Structure 1
Amino acid sequence: MLSLGRCVAIQTATVKRAARVLTIACTSNMATDPAKKRVLIVGGVAGGASCAARLRRLDEQAEITIFERGPYVSFANCGLPYFVGDVIKEQSSLLVANAAKFNKWFDVAVKESTEVVSIDRVAKTVTTKNLSSGEEHVYPYDYLVLSPGGNAIRPPLPGADLPGIFTVKTIPDANAIKSWINEKDAKTAVVIGGGFIGLEMVENLVHRGLKCSLVEMLPQVMPPYDPEVVEPVHERLRAVGVDLHLGDGVAGFDAAPGGGLLVKTQSGKVHGADLVVLAIGVRPETALARQSGLELGSRGGIQVDEHMRTSDPAIFAVGDAVEVKDFVTGEQTLIPLAGPANRQGRIVADVITGNEPSRFRGSQGTSVVGLFGLTLAATGASEKTLKRLGRNFRKVYLHINNHAGYYPGAKQIDIKLLFDPKDGRVLGMQAVGEEGVEKRVDVVAMAIQKGGTVFDLEEAELCYAPQYGSAKDPVNMVGMVAANVMRGQHPLTSWDELNLQELVSDPGAVLVDVREPSELEKVGKVEGAINMPLSSLRQQLTKLQDKDKKYYVYCQVGLRGYVATRQFLQRGFDAVNVSGGFKSFQQQMPERPAKL
């Protein structure tokens, strides 16, 4: 216990109230043995809760307290949209661990609905405020772990605080949305923001029977992804009846004269709705760190080292509030994902208990989202990121079945792989499809962790049975394509690297479509292309004399284009395959219709 001499009155100038003298509590969880570590954790959910559980498993003597500002110390916030959509029926299903479980299983004291309002780094104490009673207490620490998470962004726009406009960050947020839908008998909704939460909310609101509009300021949903990869997502949203408004930011909100809300956009459009969901991202919660004089990084998050230490060696930070190193590019970044937050919490526990070599290697942003039967997943760097950093890279596209085509139910996966042309090191992968997507991205995510190359993907030995994959798995196939590029056996370009208008008017260039005529009649072709079907290409090449020209070859998805390109090359022609074929043309240039 603390001596009574240390239980003194303190005064605060930051909280205005009648009673300004606060009592510092002598609590039972304070260490009686100076050898015991006193660890205070600010925030539960993913990083803080993971740290507490790991710490107890490593040190039975440590005295651990979690302070959680909300009413639930550890809950699955990734499940909130599905709770709104009634896919998850019971709120209790979202509770990973409650205060009682932390106490009984791990002997961890949990203070819910309690906010840490200040840190005294010299005295090594924190001041807390019970949000129900207003009572404040002071707790000493040997180590302090900050896991405050991020704040859902509510932009300072006219009308943003009107009733019926919600964010989705906590269980009370989700409950408020559900209550509003039920009480107002809501039929329409506008979701602002096309990121993970925005898309998941659209799906679940549609599942609840609401007519949805999605408004996104950028010209695509899922901004971290490359635009051509998410084009199938745009198509699926429109196909299920979602009104998609891209490239149009929100200007403000008004109450509709007959009830409901009006969403005004920068283009001058107005969208009516019974409720609005703001899903435009999160901002790292750094107020406490900033007030305490801890260093912040260039991206606005708390600055930490590889052991998750802040600029104060007794204070650690984890989760959405911290800046981390991008594993692929090496730059500082913010990656608000549950997986990295959990790993960071474990690392802090290791370091506190003396396992100093435990370090956070960085995050590669491995992510996945499901939407109306589609799965979109990625790992590593995107093309947009690599271009912004001026990095040299090559890319290949692959459209391939998730399992053997002869086995019923095969679904196509669209894959984009990015790699370093110097050594073939894998830099990133994005994929979209109905089945088997996340499995392939997970394999490549591990390859990136180990510094793997396209040659490693080519040689990877993966599970195969007809209902699960192919003898040459999609991971193998995309590795083979990239490896052939590295070996100089597969000259490759992509549609966005070509100026089609100049190409088709250039007398020294020929755009060649090697699909069968019946395919062209059914799905169309690129305007200006000549048709030289692969089935008769050898015969045509024996008669073709124009070896001074360059031939740009494409098929439907890329494979026949590669076969044809090899025939051109071995007969002395200058030829290059257009990666991903006509399928990639449709995704990369949706505004340019095919010629029928």
Structure 2
Amino acid sequence: MRTIIIGGVAGGMSAATRLRRLDESAEITVYERGPHVSYANCGLPYYVGGIITDRSQLLLQTPDSLHRRFRLDVRTGHEVVSIDPDLKLVTVVELATSTTSTEHYDTLILAVGAAARGEVTFGDIPTHTLRTVSDVDAITALLERDNGIRSALVIGGGFIGLEAAENLVSRGLHTSLVQRGPHILTPLDPEMTVPLESHLRAHGVDVHTSTVIDRVDGGIVHLSDGTSQQPDLIIDASGVRPQTTLALTAGLRLGPTGGIAVDAENRTSDANIFAVGDGVEKQDARTGEPTLVTMAGLANRHGRTTADVIAGVAETNAPSLGTAIVGVFDMVAAKVGASETELRAAGAPLRVIHTHPASHAGYYPGAEGMSMKLLVDPESDRILGAQIVGGSGVDKRIDIIAVAMTAGITASALAKLELAYAPQFGSAKDPINQLGYVADNLRTGATRSLQWHELEAARTSGATLIDVRSAGEYAAGSIPAAVNIPVDELRERLDELPAGPVIVHCQVGQRGHTAARILTQHGIDAVNLDGGFRTWAAGAQVREPAVNVV
């Protein structure tokens, strides 16, 4: 039995090596158009930035090493240009010699991934993506040339764009970032990206949101916000699209997302052809609908699943949560599941929770703040998604929530998780437990909350806003027209409250909850502003974004 694999990076090579472990007799051939296979593409930006100094560390395997260990026939510089599903043939071109051959397969795996959205050029300004070893070789050659590269423009504020910006700054380049949408990192909700955007600016990145390139004249890039740049280098991180040309010519079905449609075994509409990787649809864990998730972890796992199926092992993919994380300078942003933006667009019922805990016990040196957001189904208490932005500890908290979602642990049950505790690692009430406490209070009706973007409408309808922080905190910055009554004085000053509903808030939500409980038990209609002043302040910046300084 011969298996041909088209594409030799994450999904393709995982399939190849797993299949060999399961079947020593299988004939396995891998065709890769580029010069490298099995390389660490997620590490490419950090080689550009000089964090990874040894280029060979990015090259995990070579055709020779794969042959020695796995007896794989890996052919780089070979492009499969067509597939004949009826005859089970592929047409292959050896790029160095333009020699064409046809090869037979019994099973075929498409692992060609995704490509940049467009091959865009900007006059004479060198423009590159950050997807292959060849990309970073070209970029580093530019950075190391005699006259030097002093400035760069990054197009796209997604995960790769942010990593590119960070690493270009690390190389000493004045770096601008242009984002088409209203905020960077669009998988997160806008108020969660505010601290990240401020962090980028604080490290010298010139951030332009709701902005595109209008035109390029003589090396000058004119932006739609009226500013201009004169970069020596452009990094195109504007996104990717599924590579589906081979699938289409083979008559394979595409799904509604534009990716290759597959079943839970990664089998395409042709029973003998499988597909894995960034160009393939996944199943969304919440909706069960097709989705595109371009993550190396999924590509590797789905390659393994495919090898199992080909070898006769019963295996299927798990639905995708879309778990992702990015580090930008010393700040981390992570997400899992759906965002509030997505859920509201879908008309899904939801409950939103914002908290702002410390990464570990506040009395132990080095504690860092984080902003957490949990999205919950109000009927079932099911966790729908989460987002965390902060410093240390973000990674382990998002992973805990991802495990909870996979295991079906409810939002309220997060309060009961017994997590490792010592002052330098967490708190006796871990941030995960705190999310569970808030979720349980909302589930049981012990408290009610209001979101930052709902405040204006509530006040227009007659609600009074009470700031229950200290007088010093209030003086340092407050929501306009809020009345300051510190929580410790609230019981003695109830007669100062006007008739009608009351919204209370503190800095992050905890004292606001206490205030809401006091008022409710005194017969006052009180709700807590979720996430307190800190979340509202981030939301206010979303409504009135900071002015870009060029």
- TM-score, reference length from structure 1: 0.89
In 1, Cα distance between equivalents of 2:88 and 2:196: 50
Q: Which amino acid aligns with 2:79?
A: E
Q: Which of 268, 285, 295 is residue 327 of structure 1 equivalent to?
A: 285
Deviations 1:244-285 (A, max 9, x none): 1110112233333xxxxx222234432111111111011111
In 1, Cα distance between equivalents of 2:328 and 2:77: 34
Do structure 1's residue 178 and structure 2's residue 135 form an aligned pair?
no
- Judge conservation of contact 2:11–2:303 (CA < 8 Å) in 1: yes
| Residue in 2 that maps onto 1:458 | 415
Q: Which amino acid aligns with 2:359?
A: N
Residue aligned with 1:565, SS: helix
- Judge conservation of contact 1:552–1:576 (CA < 8 Å) in 2: yes
In 1, Cα distance between equivalents of 2:41 and 2:320: 20
The aligned runs of 1:434-445 (5 Å cut-off) are 434-445=391-402
In 2, Cα distance between equivalents of 1:322 and 1:195: 20
In 2, Cα distance between equivalents of 1:331 and 1:343: 19
Residue aligned with 1:361, SS: coil
- Judged with a 3 Å threshold, the aligned counterparts in structure 2 of structure 1 residues 545 and 177 are, in CA distance, closer, same or farther, namely closer
| Residue in 2 that maps onto 1:20 | none
Q: Which amino acid aligns with 1:367?
A: A
| Residue in 2 that maps onto 1:14 | none
| Residue in 1 that maps onto 2:374 | 417
| Residue in 1 that maps onto 2:257 | 299
Do structure 1's residue 525 and structure 2's residue 478 form an aligned pair?
yes
Q: Which of 255, 273, 295 is residue 315 of structure 1 equivalent to?
A: 273
Q: Which amino acid aligns with 1:536?
A: E
| Residue in 1 that maps onto 2:517 | 566
1:423: how far off? 1.1
- Judge conservation of contact 1:366–1:445 (CA < 8 Å) in 2: yes
In 2, Cα distance between equivalents of 1:277 and 1:254: 18
- Judge conservation of contact 2:123–2:218 (CA < 8 Å) in 1: no
| Residue in 1 that maps onto 2:534 | 583
1:163: how far off? 4.5
- Judge conservation of contact 2:123–2:217 (CA < 8 Å) in 1: no
Do structure 1's residue 118 and structure 2's residue 72 form an aligned pair?
no
In 1, Cα distance between equivalents of 2:137 and 2:529: 50
Deviations 1:330-349 (A, max 9, x none): 22111110011011001001
Q: Which amino acid aligns with 1:579?
A: D
In 1, Cα distance between equivalents of 2:119 and 2:56: 31
- Judge conservation of contact 1:44–1:147 (CA < 8 Å) in 2: yes
| Residue in 2 that maps onto 1:169 | 131
In 1, Cα distance between equivalents of 2:311 and 2:124: 48
Deviations 1:190-211 (A, max 9, x none): 1111011111010000000000
Do structure 1's residue 188 and structure 2's residue 151 form an aligned pair?
yes
Q: Which of 443, 447, 457 is residue 490 of structure 1 equivalent to?
A: 447
- Judge conservation of contact 2:125–2:234 (CA < 8 Å) in 1: no
Q: Larger radius of gyration, structure 1 or 2?
A: 1
- Judge conservation of contact 1:537–1:564 (CA < 8 Å) in 2: yes
Deviations 1:87-129 (A, max 9, x none): 1111111012111121111111100111111111111111111
- Judged with a 3 Å threshold, the aligned counterparts in structure 2 of structure 1 residues 255 and 168 are, in CA distance, closer, same or farther, namely farther
| Residue in 1 that maps onto 2:47 | 83
Q: Which of 189, 197, 213 is residue 250 of structure 1 equivalent to?
A: 213
- Judge conservation of contact 2:125–2:232 (CA < 8 Å) in 1: no
In 2, Cα distance between equivalents of 1:528 and 1:445: 40
Instruction: Return 5+ residue gaps in structure 2 as ranges.
Output: 545-550
In 1, Cα distance between equivalents of 2:33 and 2:49: 26
1:372: how far off? 1.2
Q: Which of 488, 507, 510 is residue 556 of structure 1 equivalent to?
A: 507
- Judge conservation of contact 1:190–1:273 (CA < 8 Å) in 2: yes
The percent of aligned pairs where both chains have the same amino acid is: 45
- Judge conservation of contact 2:194–2:542 (CA < 8 Å) in 1: no
In 1, Cα distance between equivalents of 2:290 and 2:226: 37
In 2, Cα distance between equivalents of 1:161 and 1:345: 40
- Judge conservation of contact 1:154–1:167 (CA < 8 Å) in 2: no
In 1, Cα distance between equivalents of 2:368 and 2:497: 41
| Residue in 2 that maps onto 1:46 | 10
In 1, Cα distance between equivalents of 2:214 and 2:262: 36
- Judge conservation of contact 2:190–2:542 (CA < 8 Å) in 1: no
| Residue in 1 that maps onto 2:548 | none
Residue aligned with 2:278, SS: helix
| Residue in 2 that maps onto 1:215 | 178
In 2, Cα distance between equivalents of 1:219 and 1:128: 44
In 2, Cα distance between equivalents of 1:444 and 1:173: 35
Q: Which of 133, 137, 158 is residue 101 of structure 2 equivalent to?
A: 137
- Judge conservation of contact 2:29–2:72 (CA < 8 Å) in 1: yes
1:162: how far off? 3.6
In 2, Cα distance between equivalents of 1:550 and 1:396: 21
- Judge conservation of contact 1:379–1:429 (CA < 8 Å) in 2: yes
1:544: how far off? 4.8
Q: Which amino acid aligns with 1:349?
A: A
- Judge conservation of contact 1:154–1:160 (CA < 8 Å) in 2: no
Q: Which of 38, 57, 69 is residue 21 of structure 2 equivalent to?
A: 57
- Judge conservation of contact 2:323–2:335 (CA < 8 Å) in 1: yes
- Matched pairs, number: 543
| Residue in 1 that maps onto 2:201 | 238
| Residue in 1 that maps onto 2:547 | none
In 2, Cα distance between equivalents of 1:572 and 1:273: 63
Residue aligned with 1:54, SS: helix
Runs of 4+, deviation exceeding 3 Å: 159-163, 543-546
Residue aligned with 1:401, SS: coil
Deviations 1:146-167 (A, max 9, x none): 00011122365xx536441111
Q: Which amino acid aligns with 1:410?
A: A
After alignment, is 201-210 or 177-186 more displaced?
177-186
In 2, Cα distance between equivalents of 1:284 and 1:254: 32
In 2, Cα distance between equivalents of 1:566 and 1:350: 55
| Residue in 1 that maps onto 2:384 | 427
| Residue in 2 that maps onto 1:341 | 299
In 1, Cα distance between equivalents of 2:266 and 2:424: 43
In 1, Cα distance between equivalents of 2:46 and 2:217: 28
- TM-score, reference length from structure 2: 0.96
Residue aligned with 1:498, SS: helix
Q: Which amino acid aligns with 2:464?
A: V
Q: Which amino acid aligns with 2:485?
A: M
| Larger RCO (CA under 8 A, 6+ residues apart) | 2
In 1, Cα distance between equivalents of 2:214 and 2:395: 36
Q: Which amino acid aligns with 1:359?
A: T
After alignment, is 579-588 or 131-140 more displaced?
131-140
- Judge conservation of contact 1:152–1:168 (CA < 8 Å) in 2: no
In 2, Cα distance between equivalents of 1:403 and 1:203: 26
Do structure 1's residue 372 and structure 2's residue 326 form an aligned pair?
no
1:134: how far off? 1.1
Q: Which of 237, 242, 253 is residue 284 of structure 1 equivalent to?
A: 242
In 1, Cα distance between equivalents of 2:5 and 2:416: 45
